[in-house]
Amino acid sequence: MRTAICPGSFDPVTYGHLDIIGRAALIFDKLIVAVSYNPGKNPLFSIEERIQLLQGVLSNYPNIEVKAFSGLTVDAAIECKAKAIIRGLRVVSDFENEFRMALTNQKLACHIETVFLMTKAEYSFISSTTVKEVASFGGSLRSLVPPLVEEKLREKFKRCHED
């Protein structure tokens, strides 16, 4: 069985993420969407909330499992017995950092490949940071995130404005 891991913070999951995840799920027998803790960041959604959102929007994919991880992505890949790490590329500027990480991962675990997937052009401008900013000002999220994620973002920012 060919297993791959698709890591990210997914705070929140966007249509850009779902584009990469869906296409990777067609290539591999099993895809593990690995949600990172990112101790250096202050996420809007807790790890549990991000996992629930991903499970909700990916429920139609029988070969996808969503789980949390901390530490190095390559260690999570080894633990999951993954043959590949999936990385999405939106714009050319993403490539330099992703390439550096891929080379580092190759040094740490030469038997695990990094597979780069280019997002579709219609999603290339979408980032979780942009989505959170649009949501914070009450802008339309319809073309950026699935309805479930939009609903949870609205709830989060409603609470933030009430505090």
90 is catalytic: yes
Q: Exposed (0-12), middle (13-18) or buried (19+): which is 156, by Cβ within 10 Å?
A: middle
Active-site pick, 30, 36, 128, 132: 128
Active-site pick, 41, 81, 100, 120: 41
> Residue 120 carries which DSSP code?
P
120 is catalytic: no
Report residue 98 as tokens: 């992703």
- 3-class SS of residue 141: coil
Q: Cite the annotated binding site for substrate by residue number.
A: 9, 41, 73, 87
70 is catalytic: no
Q: Cite the annotated binding site by residue number.
A: 9-10, 17, 41, 73, 87-90, 98, 123-129
Q: Cite the annotated binding site for ATP by residue number.
A: 9-10, 17, 88-90, 98, 123-129
Active-site pick, 17, 83, 132, 152: 17
User: Please, where are the H alpha helices in the chain?
Assistant: 15-27, 47-57, 73-79, 92-108, 128-136, 147-162
2 is catalytic: no
Active-site pick, 30, 50, 83, 90: 90
Q: Catalytic positions, please?
A: 17, 41, 90, 128
